[in-house]
Structure 1
């Protein structure tokens, strides 16, 4: 069945048994993997006969997979057929599309042309579709992509392996040593992918190509780190398993690589078995072969069928969605948010609640121009906005979208919509923000978008439905347009240009600005930033217009704006923003009071308003026309309800900041070598004031509850 190994490392099966195994898999019901993909993995299969039925066990005498070797697995996006095999430990390829490293790459969903600080774009992955012998187009259970050159393909796989290795520190144990000592316990899962080259391979002297024009590989859907470290123990990289192993690593002299797994896998096992035998004779257990012997062969799951091959990519990634919701490993904030969001999109497509084309764009797998409703000739800023707002409404379906509310609740493991907490809402917000950042050159901290209230999250979000250019053009005079821009665009746009962030850390960690001066040492939440912009609507609208223009012009640095919103020459940076839109203190806005004589404001009121905004609400602009129409009672109720929600949100933020401030003072006292930070009288006075605030707060929940029906 295989070339008999003289040691623990298995040799490839004979050519005859490889062919029998491939034929038996293809003869099994529901298998739709391509023959070429199965032929690629066949040399890695250990004892293939154990996976197959005998000819005498089948009515037609045709071998098939044993029934206990394969099973259907259901994911959020659909079903896939898995076969369990014993595989040579060096097998498998690290997958660039692993969601733990999604922020390492530039997304296809970024319509901009600006630099992305060296982040390379990932090629688009599609399902493998070919014409059958009868001329019919058929989609198989395999993926397909294109690399510009062989060197680019190798570099991409190596970069993915490096990025995954850098994240291993998030594990509570040393994975490499664990594999060397204990072997691999949990099987990895692999899906076939065909990678074509966009170049014509150079020719050798005899006219034959120097290397193939395309490659088959089995990419690790689950177990990327285990695949990487297994191969490290063998002394081989994933890119070499995919594109060819150097002859020097096979104990042979001369340049070049072997691209035939049947050949190089046999030679590699021979070298390792020899090393192992020599180590045994010398009483050494530290050789490469001894460290790799525990993973000489491992159990693996191969995806060989699917209920919807055209959605294979999302189905395969959906196999570990639960790990993303309740992860055994710590994801980076953007990688985790994107994984959660893609899980929801996959759940929608599985139930036909979202078309595949739109889902691909929202998941970052296709350009924004692929959206069915993308306007022709739309600018970069509008394309980014179109995708972001669609993501927002998909992640916050309204009360009449019962099917989507049911699916997102199941995908994220949430309580009933009416019981969503701020934590549940913020998790969705971070998914929205993380996926939105794929359309920009650099990701930001997804906490920057945490301005959606729990009430909004429970109800779902309904937007005005206007295009971005219209919103920007009317925002100065249109309260609803201004609020929608401020709430759902401003945080992301400001973060994209590093003007704000979600950092609530210590003041000592702040940076210097672009002018070399120390940035204003202010701690402020994003909600506070938004409130400050509400106070200066003309400047806020002007800044938003300038940020959109900067995106449309290659993501250039945005300019400062003056009081009227007109762009100036200076660059808009963090320090300028904090000076222009200073931190809100939480005090109520000044309101006019009528004199005791009745009617008009008194003289003191007139003097007090000199040179100031005489706001009767957060949106008042001194430049507004004097004859502006008065708001209706319904409009007033809506506005005041929004003010109440913002005040509750600001109170929660203030409590968080207060707790952090107490910790900062305690830390500063410890650093200064002091036994205590405050004098006794000062500490007691502050504690007393906090208690007074708490007493006042205790009365508020009941009065707020009284606003609802009895």
Structure 2
């Protein structure tokens, strides 16, 4: 393969990036047997007009770049603009008239200022070729598919890691370093660069299956209605590019790309319609996809985009309009997205925080309903939002926030010593996250309330505490090989409203003293044990299955595990008779982490390690059973005595007859529940049996007993459960019949709206009930 098979210019510069105001571009080189596309098109045939724009003339691109750099608040590198300029349709229309000094800037209507809790940024509103943009591996919805650099063992394994993102910087003529409004990262080689983009696309496809409509076909039919947002990122290759027989590099050693902060799915779907990938847009398009007969890759977008648009316009002119995904021509299917609106990040007064700013702008769109993050991604995004807010308010330094967000190694924290083990490094980060999310400082508590839309700190609800706990748990898991269900962290009561105060002792000290030091033992169990057990899959949050969960026993068979909450697990560890064994388990889990996250060994009753016999969930449940650590259950309250029999039987209502019958024949499921006597079945709730003619009755002797109320509540819960199952079955049956018939839809719009409204109201009321039940239940 000859070096001339690969073309680059400033968009794929192999040189160190210049400072923002540097003029000119690094010299590239062209194929000895090839011709630049703007020349090739004129030599071979006339340019065919069509919906797909060719890059504007170089003079217009240069005018647009100069106008952008002259606009107030803009401070991005020139190379980033040179990379995106070929994709901009009619750039001259964005430029205003010259001022008194002859300087032209962007028109006011094409520049917007966006403010977030992490800071503010400036964006340019442009019309961009629909194939433009690059999927961003650091999109928070998919970043969990990579190992985090916040895991101290990340360099020891073969799993893929997501490189740290840092502000783009350059050295001026005086030798001073400046950060500008762009990001920078590095990857091992060009293949890793392309694979990151492909992995991001695969991960996005999994989320796209949850969408209730086909986004790709919607773009084909209706075009793109919402603009995407793109931030410039400079990517260096750590390895030197391959060379040809003459010693010339076959590829650039660095690339500019405009990463999709908002609109990753739309970017991926657009490019799939064009039959290109983000990896190709970023690192070069194969020559055969441009209609060339020779092989090779074309890196410069000024070159390949012109040939690609010409090819599309020719397809558009030579084919019939057909939008069918199987038979329709690519050009006609892509016509509605030939040009799309895009927001390009072009400036920020705090470039060192640009990554947080752009992430914050996208976060609120996805962490609240309609939800597009998975549970881990959603909780991590909430936690990172809090950290970004602390940095913006100067309550946390940038480096600490980077480490806690999972963007930098733990050893970059200022108080880390070289002798710290893996378990202690993980512990330092987790405890710092815990203090950040459950602060004692009144100012931080107030800021958290605002950032997470919570009640006042003194009135935090259990659901709000659980939300913070999930964020702590999800971010902590970044320091481990695999994420766990963040509900593992739901172990706190409302007593934590005032914040967490830790002893500040190092982890080895706590482990060494835990057998005899109650405070050390309690701190380990309260704030470490759940995550350590989850990291080795020894516990998991209760999934609510009536059949419980299953596990593999020592003989290899499946064994049903008893349902238990994580709180119950911690209570079992606290049992006084198992104290030494619990300490042995914690020490062994820490030792397993320090030994490459190997399987932890079982321990004896006195905490001694038993090498060769791995801990398993079944073993843990057997040694620390559910009953352990719980208080003795209260004796069931006897059912109310039956009224004395008289010659004339006293009549009762059917509902009270049913309560009396259940109370005498079945023990209540939840004993010892207490509550005000005024707690009655919901008004308007359906009766268990059809109403019977009323019989005159004497007034009831008093309010119903708690057990009688509980029996009635259980009846209603049973009815709601069965009713919801039947509703689901009937709706599916109705849908199947409607799908198989050619008649009109079975529901009118008004009838459907009324049903949905009633269902949503019912679900909203039901969400409040579990917490109400828990407030009246005895502790485990």
- Secondary structure at 1:555 match in 2: coil
In the alignment, the residues of structure 2 paired with residue 559 and residue 544 of structure 1 have an alpha-carbon distance, to the nearest angstrom, of: 11
The equivalent residue for 1:666 is: none
The equivalent residue for 1:450 is: 490
Shift of the 246–106 alpha-carbon distance from structure 1 to 2, 3 Å rule, reads same
In the alignment, the residues of structure 2 paired with residue 181 and residue 684 of structure 1 have an alpha-carbon distance, to the nearest angstrom, of: 65
The equivalent residue for 2:392 is: 350
Instruction: Give the superposition deviation at 1:684.
Output: 6.9
1:9–1:273 contact (8 Å) kept in structure 2: yes
The equivalent residue for 1:234 is: 274
Q: How does 1:207-226 map to 2 (within 5 A)?
A: 207-226=247-266
The equivalent residue for 1:292 is: 334
Instruction: Give the superposition deviation at 1:165.
Output: 1.2
Selected match of 1:461 from 500, 504, 512: 500
In the alignment, the residues of structure 1 paired with residue 664 and residue 211 of structure 2 have an alpha-carbon distance, to the nearest angstrom, of: 44
Q: What do the CA deviations read for 1:510-538 (whole angstroms, capped 9, x no partner)?
A: 23246413234311111111111111111
In the alignment, structure 1 residue 329 sits paired with structure 2 residue 384: no
In the alignment, the residues of structure 2 paired with residue 77 and residue 50 of structure 1 have an alpha-carbon distance, to the nearest angstrom, of: 32
Task: Say which is worse superposed, 7-16 or 171-180, in terms of deviation.
Answer: 171-180
- Secondary structure at 1:79 match in 2: strand
- Secondary structure at 2:113 match in 1: strand
Selected match of 1:255 from 289, 295, 302: 295
In the alignment, the residues of structure 2 paired with residue 435 and residue 22 of structure 1 have an alpha-carbon distance, to the nearest angstrom, of: 40
Instruction: Give the superposition deviation at 1:282.
Output: 8.8
- Secondary structure at 1:144 match in 2: strand
Selected match of 1:246 from 286, 296, 312: 286
Instruction: Give the superposition deviation at 1:328.
Output: 3.1
The equivalent residue for 1:676 is: none
Selected match of 2:448 from 408, 414, 429: 408
- Secondary structure at 1:227 match in 2: helix
- Secondary structure at 1:31 match in 2: coil
The equivalent residue for 1:708 is: none
Q: What do the CA deviations read for 1:561-615 (whole angstroms, capped 9, x no partner)?
A: 011000113101111101111112785359xxxxxxxxxxxxxxxxxxxxxxxxx
Shift of the 122–515 alpha-carbon distance from structure 1 to 2, 3 Å rule, reads farther
1:114–1:555 contact (8 Å) kept in structure 2: no
Instruction: Give the superposition deviation at 1:134.
Output: 3.9
In the alignment, structure 1 residue 568 sits paired with structure 2 residue 568: no
In the alignment, structure 1 residue 365 sits paired with structure 2 residue 407: yes
- Secondary structure at 2:551 match in 1: coil
In the alignment, structure 1 residue 197 sits paired with structure 2 residue 230: no
Shift of the 123–282 alpha-carbon distance from structure 1 to 2, 3 Å rule, reads closer
- Secondary structure at 2:666 match in 1: helix
Shift of the 587–241 alpha-carbon distance from structure 1 to 2, 3 Å rule, reads closer
Selected match of 2:665 from 661, 685, 688: 685
The equivalent residue for 1:48 is: 91
In the alignment, structure 1 residue 471 sits paired with structure 2 residue 451: no
Q: How does 1:32-47 map to 2 (within 5 A)?
A: 32-47=75-90
Please give the TM-score of this superposition, normalised by the length of structure 1. Answer: 0.82
Task: Say which is worse superposed, 378-387 or 481-490, in terms of deviation.
Answer: 481-490
The equivalent residue for 1:611 is: none
Shift of the 695–417 alpha-carbon distance from structure 1 to 2, 3 Å rule, reads closer
Selected match of 1:28 from 71, 76, 81: 71
In the alignment, the residues of structure 2 paired with residue 270 and residue 441 of structure 1 have an alpha-carbon distance, to the nearest angstrom, of: 48
1:324–1:339 contact (8 Å) kept in structure 2: no
Instruction: Give the superposition deviation at 1:685.
Output: 3.4
1:112–1:552 contact (8 Å) kept in structure 2: no
Selected match of 1:78 from 115, 119, 132: 119
- Secondary structure at 2:568 match in 1: helix
1:111–1:439 contact (8 Å) kept in structure 2: yes
Q: How does 1:599-638 map to 2 (within 5 A)?
A: none
In the alignment, the residues of structure 1 paired with residue 662 and residue 439 of structure 2 have an alpha-carbon distance, to the nearest angstrom, of: 50
1:115–1:441 contact (8 Å) kept in structure 2: no
Shift of the 203–512 alpha-carbon distance from structure 1 to 2, 3 Å rule, reads same
User: Which runs of no fewer than 5 residues in structure 1 stay unpaired?
Assistant: 591-653, 655-679, 706-710
In the alignment, the residues of structure 2 paired with residue 300 and residue 408 of structure 1 have an alpha-carbon distance, to the nearest angstrom, of: 32
Shift of the 514–48 alpha-carbon distance from structure 1 to 2, 3 Å rule, reads farther
In the alignment, the residues of structure 2 paired with residue 364 and residue 684 of structure 1 have an alpha-carbon distance, to the nearest angstrom, of: 58
In the alignment, structure 1 residue 578 sits paired with structure 2 residue 611: no
Task: Say which is worse superposed, 309-318 or 82-91, in terms of deviation.
Answer: 309-318
The equivalent residue for 1:551 is: 593
Q: Aligned-pair RMSD on alpha carbons?
A: 2.5
In the alignment, the residues of structure 2 paired with residue 348 and residue 539 of structure 1 have an alpha-carbon distance, to the nearest angstrom, of: 40
Shift of the 175–465 alpha-carbon distance from structure 1 to 2, 3 Å rule, reads same
Aligned length: 606
Selected match of 1:380 from 406, 422, 434: 422
Selected match of 1:17 from 60, 68, 78: 60
- Secondary structure at 1:292 match in 2: helix
* Higher-Rg member (1/2): 2
List structure 1 segments (4+ residues) > 4 angstroms apart after TM superposition.
Answer: 113-116, 281-285, 680-684, 687-692, 694-699
The equivalent residue for 1:103 is: 144
Instruction: Give the superposition deviation at 1:548.
Output: 0.2
Shift of the 221–327 alpha-carbon distance from structure 1 to 2, 3 Å rule, reads farther
Instruction: Give the superposition deviation at 1:505.
Output: 3.9
Q: What do the CA deviations read for 1:419-440 (whole angstroms, capped 9, x no partner)?
A: 1100000000000000000000
Shift of the 256–297 alpha-carbon distance from structure 1 to 2, 3 Å rule, reads same
Selected match of 1:496 from 520, 535, 541: 535
In the alignment, the residues of structure 2 paired with residue 312 and residue 177 of structure 1 have an alpha-carbon distance, to the nearest angstrom, of: 34
In the alignment, the residues of structure 1 paired with residue 253 and residue 666 of structure 2 have an alpha-carbon distance, to the nearest angstrom, of: 73
The equivalent residue for 2:523 is: 484
2:548–2:563 contact (8 Å) kept in structure 1: no
In the alignment, the residues of structure 2 paired with residue 508 and residue 393 of structure 1 have an alpha-carbon distance, to the nearest angstrom, of: 34
The equivalent residue for 1:639 is: none
- Secondary structure at 1:473 match in 2: helix
Task: Say which is worse superposed, 87-96 or 311-320, in terms of deviation.
Answer: 311-320
2:434–2:500 contact (8 Å) kept in structure 1: yes
The equivalent residue for 1:518 is: 558
- Secondary structure at 1:360 match in 2: helix
Shift of the 530–359 alpha-carbon distance from structure 1 to 2, 3 Å rule, reads same
Shift of the 441–587 alpha-carbon distance from structure 1 to 2, 3 Å rule, reads closer
Shift of the 471–696 alpha-carbon distance from structure 1 to 2, 3 Å rule, reads farther
The equivalent residue for 1:6 is: 49
Instruction: Give the superposition deviation at 1:682.
Output: 7.7
- Secondary structure at 1:226 match in 2: helix
Instruction: Give the superposition deviation at 1:157.
Output: 1.2
In the alignment, the residues of structure 1 paired with residue 415 and residue 597 of structure 2 have an alpha-carbon distance, to the nearest angstrom, of: 24
In the alignment, the residues of structure 2 paired with residue 97 and residue 460 of structure 1 have an alpha-carbon distance, to the nearest angstrom, of: 31
Instruction: Give the superposition deviation at 1:681.
Output: 7.5
Please give the TM-score of this superposition, normalised by the length of structure 2. Answer: 0.74
The equivalent residue for 2:176 is: 136
In the alignment, the residues of structure 2 paired with residue 342 and residue 281 of structure 1 have an alpha-carbon distance, to the nearest angstrom, of: 47
Instruction: Give the superposition deviation at 1:392.
Output: 0.2
Shift of the 434–368 alpha-carbon distance from structure 1 to 2, 3 Å rule, reads same
The equivalent residue for 1:657 is: none
Shift of the 589–282 alpha-carbon distance from structure 1 to 2, 3 Å rule, reads closer
Shift of the 214–282 alpha-carbon distance from structure 1 to 2, 3 Å rule, reads closer
- Secondary structure at 1:159 match in 2: helix
- Secondary structure at 2:234 match in 1: strand
In the alignment, the residues of structure 2 paired with residue 281 and residue 231 of structure 1 have an alpha-carbon distance, to the nearest angstrom, of: 20
Instruction: Give the superposition deviation at 1:5.
Output: 5.5
